[in-house]
Amino acid sequence: MAPIRLFAADQTDILEQEAVLFLQEHYKKAQPDARTEIKLNPISRKIKLKNCQAPLEFQTPRGNSSRITFRARCPAPGWQLFIAAEVKHFGPAVVSNISLPRNAQLRLSNLTLEEVDLTTLRSAYFTRPADIKGWTTKRSIPAGSVITASMLKAPLAISQGNAVIIEAKRNSVTIRASGTALEDGEVGEQIRIQNDRSGNIIKARVIGPGLVRAP
């Protein structure tokens, strides 16, 4: 049996370089607009591996955590090694430039765009201040905070008492009737509507300002 040889230092360096290149290419495809920083955990020079006679294969890392583990595999003679790394993605996100109290309506002057570490965010974030102009804060937000969807409430498309158009589709025919909103509603929400003609109360989905759609 041929003796198992230690990886030479330069060969281990190549393995690390190829692993970093693999991760850079992978994340460039996954997040093309982000700047990615990769810190590979050094591979121990004490690990005994046979020299690889074929191109190395790398397993796609899973999850969005900043700390990842992925597999490097040598098809011939056949061995595998798990490599750990820390990955950070930096990209533009909307940030509050002042402290915002609860129930504050956002203005463009309250917001700025900054490069932030996206791997620390646990909720959907925004990349254009104009997209959340007029939205309302659910809680107080300190200055310098990344604005996420969980912090905000979308503007009301319909307020209680508003006159609305009720739209319903029957086969290929669209029927419209006038109604009155009995609840506030954001786009996408179902609210109670009273049909002005029949007096019936129905549930309808808010499509936009002044427009609801009945099932």
What stretch(es) of the chain map to CATH 2.30.30.760?
A: 163-213
pLDDT in tens, 50-69: 777 889 899 988 766 788 99
pLDDT in tens, 140-194: 999 999 999 999 988 889 999 999 999 998 888 999 999 999 999 988 899 999 9
Least confident residue range of 14-28, 57-71, 75-89, 128-142:
57-71
Q: Tell me: pLDDT of 99 over 90.
A: yes
Domain 163-213 belongs to what architecture?
Roll (2.30)
User: Which CATH number applies to 90-153?
Assistant: 3.90.1210.10
Q: How confident is the model at residue 2 (pLDDT cuts 50, 70, 90)?
A: very low
DSSP string, 136-199: EESS-B-TTPBPBGGGEEPPPSB-TT-EEEEEEEETTEEEEEEEEESS-B-TT-EEEEEETTT-
* Mean pLDDT calculated for residue range 7-14: 61
Q: How confident is the model at residue 9 (pLDDT cuts 50, 70, 90)?
A: very low
Quote the CA–CA distance of 132 and 137 in Å, as a whole number: 10
What stretch(es) of the chain map to CATH 3.90.1210.10?
A: 90-153
Q: Are 90 and 35 contacting, i.e. CB atoms less than 8 angstroms apart? A: yes
* Mean pLDDT calculated for residue range 119-124: 88
Query: What local confidence, expressed as pLDDT, does residue 33 receive?
Result: 84
